[in-house]
Every structure is written in structure tokens, then in C-alpha cells.
Amino acid sequence: MRTRETGRRETDIRRATFAAGCFWGPEDVFRRVSGVESVTVGYAGGSTEHPTYEQVCTGLTGHAESVQVLFDPLKTSYTTLLRVFWELHDPTQLNRQGPDVGSQYRSAVFYHDEQQKAEAQQSKRELEQSGRLSGPIVTEIVPAGRFWPAEEYHQRFLEKNPHCNCGSVCRSGPAES
């Protein structure tokens, strides 16, 4: 089967999975990266089958709000995606991002093969040694398990709700006359 945009076989497309707090912002950022074919928000790293948003929000399922990125390795690299991941959140915050608190908001790289694991570990080491961060990196680098797509209303949420953002309640849209 071939992808609609590039005509390349789906087997030529690679998968990357990241958790960086609330999933709406990372989805929006990764969608803008050249070479990214698609981004799906969902849940990774937990034990409950078919988790719902409400279940994940309890912190009891073990899942993290995550994004699964499908990318064309001829147009972008996993290293580039890692660089975007490190820049879009604070990897020194344990089980939180800004006002969002709980293990479902943890920072994690869910690797899909040994090459991704090695690249993630190397990029983490380089960032730690750079001195750019205020504390140690707490990001997990763990094998990717089952990824569960979030409910449809979460997909492309910020596009559908431009008056919203991660870490805040949605503000009212423009006043209607």
C-alpha cells in the first residue's frame, strides 16, 4: 500500500512515539516538520487495553499522553524528531509539564528498535552535557508497546479549537455580535 502524499510504500515510512506532557501541543509542532507524514495523539506506556481519556487522566492506567509520528526517513531523520521533542517541552520536570501534573504528563521516548534507542540515549546525553537545562533530564527511554489512539475529538484538537492550548482551560472564542 502506498501513502497518499508521496506515493511511497507504507513500509518505507518509519514510526516514532513521544510523550511530552499534554499531547495537543506536540501534535501541532510535529505536524509542521517537513517529512512528517502524519501525527496521531494517543496513549502509550500503560497496561489498560483500549484506555479512554477519562481513565488515563486518573493516572491509574500507566499511560502517558503521547504522539505517534509517521515520517519519511528520506525527508527527515529520527535525530531531527528527537531535537524537536527536546525543544518542545521541559524534560527536567518529573510527571508534569507546566500546570499539568501526573504520570500521564511524563516525558518519554518510546523507541521502536535498537537504532532509535541508541539515538535517543545519545541525544539525551548530549543535551545533559550541554548545560542548557536547569536540572537533570527525567525523560524515560523505554520500548514502545501498544499505542492506543485517543478519541477523535483529541485529534488535531488545536486546529479545531484555536482558542485553546495545553495547560489552560479553553478560552471563549471571539464575541459574537
pLDDT in tens, the chain (177 residues): 444 555 556 568 999 999 999 998 999 999 999 999 999 999 999 999 999 999 999 999 999 999 999 999 999 999 999 999 999 999 999 999 888 899 999 999 999 999 999 999 999 999 999 999 989 999 999 999 999 999 998 899 888 887 777 755 555 443 332
CB neighbour list of residue 148: distance below 8 Å, 6 or more residues apart? 42, 43, 44, 50, 51, 63
DSSP 116-154: HHHHHHHHHHHHHHHT-SSS----EEEE----EEPPGGG
- Range 10-160: architecture per CATH: 2-Layer Sandwich (3.30)
pLDDT for 175 equals 34
22 is an active site residue? yes
Q: Given the residues 22, 57, 164, 166, select the one marked as catalytic.
A: 22
- Coil vs helix vs strand at 170: coil
Domain residue ranges of the chain, discontinuous segments joined by +: 10-160
pLDDT of residue 166: 72
Q: What is the pLDDT of residue 151?
A: 92
**Strand pairing report for 64-71 and 140-143:** unpaired
